Amino acid sequence: GENVEQHPSTLSVQEGDSAVIKCTYSDSASNYFPWYKQELGKGPQLIIDIRSNVGEKKDQRIAVTLNKTAKHFSLHITETQPEDSAVYFCAASGYLRGGYQKVTFGIGTKLQVIP
Amino acid sequence: NAGVTQTPKFQVLKTGQSMTLQCAQDMNHEYMSWYRQDPGMGLRLIHYSVGAGITDQGEVPNGYNVSRSTTEDFPLRLLSAAPSQTSVYFCASSYYSNQPQHFGDGTRLSIL
């Protein structure tokens, strides 16, 4: 099955600086890579995703890059703000029996933006 | 538009008790799934459904049961609660396959 590793587990940055979170995956057949933000006491929120036919995707201050050859993908947050403080999860899609896809999650990165 | 609604938000059970965690969505999504979240382990898939009347097991299905009689509802049943099932449980729905787009806010379950 798919295995997703996520680094770092915690990350502290000064407000206005950039933050980068990196993930690697094991299944070369994976073709969908979402990122989720989880605030305290809430469920994960899908913030951006990328599919294997795209190398980079941007949405305002957030960008995700994908290197399929190396099997790694990264989340980049620019001009960080205190409200970016949360736990971020990467995930990669894989296939269950019957052909249905599922995502495998990384263990999360706790991002703290220091005002 | 409520999205995905989970009830209860908190629950304490004794070992051996049974209970049902409720999940409802109002987006007419075919795909729904249940995850558990434990420290240092990310989210792990328990069961999923690809439509009314169709369910299947995920990574960690033992001790849990599900059914899907309507598109809107996807309850998770704990048959005989064990301390190892202490966790935060999330329900998710999606329009595209089993790629969760919307999560509920979770049920925090403690089993003594």
User: Touching check for B77 and chain A: CB below 8 Å?
Assistant: no
Work out the pLDDT band at A98, boundaries 50, 70, 90: low
**Tokens for A54?**
């795209």
Coil/strand/helix, residue A77: strand
Work out the pLDDT band at A96, boundaries 50, 70, 90: low
**Residue B25, beta-bridge partner list:** B4
DSSP summary character for residue B73: B
The alpha carbon of residue A108 is apart from the nearest alpha carbon of chain B, in Å, by 6
Average pLDDT over residues A68-85: 96
| pLDDT recorded at residue A4 | 94
**CA torsion, ordered A97, A98, A102, A106, to nearest 10 deg:** 10
The fraction of chain A above a pLDDT of 90, given in percent, is: 77
Q: Is the pLDDT of residue A1 over 80?
A: no
Contact between B91 and B74 (Cβ < 8 Å): yes
C-alpha B51/C-alpha B46 separation (Å) is: 16
Average pLDDT over residues B18-41: 94
Q: What are phi and psi of A83, to 5 degrees?
A: -70, -5
Q: Is the pLDDT of residue B41 over 90?
A: no
| pLDDT recorded at residue A95 | 65
User: Touching check for B50 and chain A: CB below 8 Å?
Assistant: yes
The alpha carbon of residue B41 is apart from the nearest alpha carbon of chain A, in Å, by 5
CB pairs under 8 A between A and B: 61
Q: Is the pLDDT of residue B95 over 70?
A: yes
C-alpha A81/C-alpha A78 separation (Å) is: 9
Contact at CB, B101 and A46, closer than 8 angstroms: yes
Q: Is the pLDDT of residue A21 over 80?
A: yes
Contact at CB, B90 and A44, closer than 8 angstroms: yes
**Tokens for B13?**
């059970």
Average pLDDT over residues B41-57: 91
Average pLDDT over residues A15-42: 94
Q: Is the pLDDT of residue A100 over 90?
A: no
